[in-house]
A and B are shown apart, each in its own frame.
Chain A
Amino acid sequence: MLEITDLKVQAAGNEILHGLNLSVKAGEVHAIMGPNGSGKSTLARALSGHPEYQVTAGAVRYLGEDLLAMAPEDRARAGVFMAFQYPVEIAGVNNSYFLKAALNALRKHRGEPELDAMEFMTLVREKAKLLELDASMLNRPVNEGFSGGEKKRNEIFHMAVLEPKLAILDETDSGLDIDALKIVAHGVNALRSPDRAIIVVTHYQRLLNYIVPDFVHVLSDGRIVKSGGKELALELEDKGYGWLEGEPTGAKA
């Protein structure tokens, strides 16, 4: 589904990813772990097409297409979703109005009929229940006045409604208490399916107790230095990241 080859990315003139390789197949859940500054979020943002992250070398193939040549909205329409580490507050834009516009943009792209207000509300109520989202959050401006936990839950709620093929969760667990973490994980797990892949970017192992990954990769200084199964996450929890530094390997998944 996703094939990243020798990816180099810079932000504000500094190279952050120094040649990253990763292969993700449909149905798999990959966790990307690593210390702060290792390049985890840079990878997530580069994949979603953030304009402040420039790809200077390498290639990313997504379902056989050149992902890097696509505008952010085209990536979304092709089924890529990123849950933001810092969801943006958008004053005056109603959360469900925005989500309906987004969903219908995706449906239109797929040649499906747009949902009317009634159909959309039925869908949204069902997904809101999954994320234990308060109904009032649907009619508030996007993320405005949301608590940190509400913002993260809202991201996963968007994901549940948009049903991407490839979901990238950028530190969705950071700042969440254990109850919110379980709700978020439950929402993500509900979306696991053989034709969908999920990349979980996280600093902490705890989320992976609830979203159990098929593969764990450790990112250090812009490269994947170790890859393994879910037990690697536990090992990292035990030993920290220190023991891995300066141990570059190719990532095979």
Chain B
Amino acid sequence: MTQLVEKVIGTEPYLADVNRVRPDGPVWLRKTRARALARFSDLGFPTTREEDWRFTSVAPIVQRPFRLAPADPAGVAAADLAPALFGDEGVVRLVFVNGRYAAALSDVSGLPPGVEVGDLGAALASRPEAVEQHLTRLAGCAQAFTALNTAFLEGGALVVVPAGVVVEQAIHLLFVSAPGNGPTVSHPRVLVVAGENSQVRVVESYAGVGDGEYFTNAVTEVVAGPNAVVDHYKVQREQAGGFHVGSLHVALARSANVTSCAIALGAALSRNDIVAVLGGEGAECTLNGLYLVDGTRLVDTHTTIDHTQPHCDSHEVYKGILSGRGQGVFNGKIIVRPDAQKTDAKQTNRALLLSDEAQINTKPQLEIFADDVKCTHGAAVGQLDDDAIFYLRSRGLDLAQARTLLIQAFAGDILGRIRIEPLRERLEAEMLKQLPGNGTV
């Protein structure tokens, strides 16, 4: 009974605020939103009794009455964005404040003809039929947070790359939360459609302004057409008062190649769900991730890689650096459907515990229904190697330098795979700043 009461309390402010969503838009969208809202109201927020949320209590989110963030908050200036930016040249930048496109802070010049990068809200108004065939199709409504995002769907980022086009510039989608009075929530939305044989790099980053409490509830859908190459990054650098729940839904057609790298450096609590469906022969999906938790922070990652067709490869490497009383959760599911013969799936999860109180819960989950496949998984939890520390010290590095060097090396394995150099350098510096002891080499 208390369960039910908690659900009602949790959903109430959201149900009240949904009236603030613009009631216009195409009929299909209005219907989708209504369905999503009903679904959210039905499901309520998940509890730790659900297997998928066993180690992550969302009570801190449920207990705070997050109200829909103001659409046009005062006081977000270009200078506030600086810490989240990387590179100047060859980066197309779209800034969203509280989920709404901020044209004045954005720069979308220099894109190849036919490439559409801009405000999803504007596209929904001007040519909704083009968006309809993809939007919400992958994300669905199965999970409460995703349903909640869709219930509030009226804008966000849209990236459409026509068939055969290679976009040289990295496309940076920066979502900034600027809390108003009291705790606020925003529901960022991203849709990326990469046409056949196209190529694109997209960086989503999430950051906040100020010390207030806020909740970011993000959903991203990536549709990779036949032979498309998509290089995707998600950089979560929310403020200490930020709560972040996000999901990424990826569909890969025949021979598509999608890499997604998730870097989580901030937020009091962050949960990231990734679902990648390898839906065409010869597709290849790479999921990498690095998270840093300290204090009492928690980072939860759930990934599902669904092999439905033959000759698909998936590679997954996730690493966590945990200190203080930080907590990490990693759940990596690989499904190999009966038709998915010759699947090659490899999953690695490693956690580095820098304190006695830090905690990691890690679980690989393999569901294999085909017989001619190669699937491997490995999980390792460990501390810094004492022999290595002594070796480094005996050459003149002090203890802090030695530890930092080893932690950098551990993280470098993931950061080194970032193919956008200014982003990689930015994150390397950012990570170093956040390491316990703040040592430098």
Contacts and interface: CB of A to CB of B under 8 A. Distances in A.
A54 B263 CA distance: 42
B203 to A, nearest CB: 24
Interface in B389-434: 390-399, 401-402, 405-406, 408-410, 412-413
B409 A71 contact: no
B395 A162 contact: yes
Nearest to B410: A92
Contacts of B356: none
Given A90-B409, A105-B401, A73 B388 contact: no
Given A90-B388, A90-B406, A92-B413, A71 B396 contact: no
Contact of B396 (A88, A90, A162): A162
Interface in B368-403: 385-388, 390-399, 401-402
Interface in A64-118: 71-73, 75-77, 81-82, 84, 87-88, 90-93, 98-99, 101-103, 105-106, 109
A101 B392 CA distance: 10
A93 B404 CA distance: 11
Contact of A73 (B398, B409, B412): B398
A101 B404 CA distance: 12
Contact of A50 (B385, B390, B405, B406): B390
B441 interface: yes
A19 to B, nearest CB: 25
A87 B387 CA distance: 9
Interface residues of B, number: 24
B396 A106 contact: yes
B384 to A, nearest CB: 11
Contact of A98 (B390, B395, B399): B395
Most B-side CB within 10 Å, residue of A50, A84, A101: A101
Interface string B135-147: 0000000000000
Interface residues of A, number: 30
B412 to A, nearest CB: 5
B394 A48 contact: yes
Interface string A20-60: 00000000000000000000000000001111000000000
A158 interface: yes
B391 A87 contact: yes
B42 to A, nearest CB: 47
24 contacts: A49-B394, A50-B390, A73-B394, A73-B398, A73-B402, A75-B394, A76-B395, A76-B396, A81-B394, A90-B388, A93-B406, A93-B408, A98-B395, A98-B405, A101-B401, A101-B405, A101-B441, A102-B392, A102-B397, A103-B396, A105-B396, A105-B398, A105-B401, A109-B396
Interface of B: 385-388, 390-399, 401-402, 405-406, 408-410, 412-413, 441
Given A88-B391, A105-B398, 8 more contacts: A73-B397, A73-B399, A75-B394, A82-B394, A88-B387, A91-B409, A91-B413, A158-B395
Interface of A: 48-51, 71-73, 75-77, 81-82, 84, 87-88, 90-93, 98-99, 101-103, 105-106, 109, 141, 158, 162
